[in-house]
Amino acid sequence: MSQAKAEIKKAGLLYCVFVMFAYTTGGPFGLEEMVTTSGPGMTLLFLLFLPLFWSIPVSLVAAELTTAIPVEGGFYRWVRSGYGDFWGFLAGWWNWNSSWLLSASYAVLFADYLANYFPSLVGWKHYLVSLALIALLAYINVRGIQMVGLVATLLGFSVLIPVAILCVIAATKWHYNPFHPLIPPHVPPFQVFGVGLALGLWLYSGFEQCSSVAEEVADPQRSYPLALAIVIPLSIATYFLPAVFSLAALGNWQEWKTAYLSTAAELIGGQWLGFLMTVAAMLCNISLLNATMLTSTRMPSSMSEDGYLPAVFASKHPKLALRGSPS
């Protein structure tokens, strides 16, 4: 194998890792509500042990099926092959419809974070920023999966660097037991286990989604299982470490709410770190939107090829993908 081919294969795995990380995790943002609803101790236990019963089994199934059937459309075509046309259609249709809501929410959340620094960003201006972000990432996706992978990789590193800085500084200020209390006092069990479990399952979902572009990944039988093996521990660390170190440094679990990690970063490291975490949260939403566009657009294309949607949705372009040049 030539050196050029080796570099192409490495790039394929790297991009696969960060596209998968972008879709399934993106960053530690979104777990803050678990701390107040389930308690700091139970939240940390959820973050540590849920992957054993949820993410890892799903990823093993996805890795096995991607290795055996690396086709465009991924899990939609697996369901159709195993359970018939009706359930296959529903798997693709439901997934495609949910992607509209996900994409819109990520764009709006980005504009919400930006409005913290530009208070005049309200009304039509807020919607214009959201629409501009969607248009920009749509252009990147049109350019092909190589471009999407590059952007996902750059965004992934940009998010993880501030998170790593927060963990290091917070670790030097460990003053409290982050697992205490295990659950909030005088709180109904449904709130502790029901709401917290639902949030945890949502945080660790999506490990099968990137199978929709398996046919476009260089050496999917190798790259996809390796990417899953890297992304799952990376996702656990991304959620667990900033949560445990921030709780240990501050001990103010009752104050945690949506987007509180930026506030925690400011309390731990100062305004500069709070600013970096807010920027990381904004980039996280961009990364999530970028990956959602990539994986969800293959669904109507595959369904169109199978005759479930109008032919206009079918891809008529050659697969550029991560395969690279044969030379």
Question: For 23-79, what is each residue's pLDDT tens digit?
Answer: 999 999 989 989 999 999 999 999 999 999 999 999 889 888 888 888 888 899 999
Query: What confidence tier does 316 reach under pLDDT thresholds 50, 70, 90?
Result: low
Which H helix or E strand runs over 243? helix 220-250
Query: With 70 as the cut, is the pLDDT of residue 9 above it?
Result: no
pLDDT recorded at residue 322: 38
Residue with tokens 């790593």: 164
Task: Please check whether residue 214 is in contact with residue 224, taking contact to mean a CB–CB distance below 8 angstroms.
Answer: yes
Class of domain 3-313: mainly alpha
Tell me the whole-structure pTM to 2 decimals: 0.87
Rounded CA-CA distance 165/4 in Å is 35
CA dihedral (203, 204, 205, 210) positive or negative:
positive
More confidently predicted of 322 and 233: 233
Q: Which of 326, 321, 325, 8 is nearest to 146 (CA)?
A: 321
pLDDT recorded at residue 10: 43
pLDDT recorded at residue 116: 81
Domain boundaries, the chain: 3-313
Rounded CA-CA distance 268/242 in Å is 11
Rounded CA-CA distance 56/20 in Å is 14
CA distances from 235 to 23, 31, 55, 232 (A): 11, 12, 10, 5
- In the DSSP assignment, the letter for residue 314 is S
Rounded CA-CA distance 63/203 in Å is 20
Query: What confidence tier does 325 reach under pLDDT thresholds 50, 70, 90?
Result: very low
Q: Which residues contact 198 (CB under 8 A, 6 or more apart)?
A: none
Q: Which residues contact 58 (CB under 8 A, 6 or more apart)?
A: 207, 208
Using DSSP's 3-state secondary structure scheme, residue 111 falls into helix
Supply the mean pLDDT for the chain: 87
| Chain segment 203-250, per-residue pLDDT in tens | 999 888 888 887 777 777 788 888 899 999 999 999 999 999 999 999
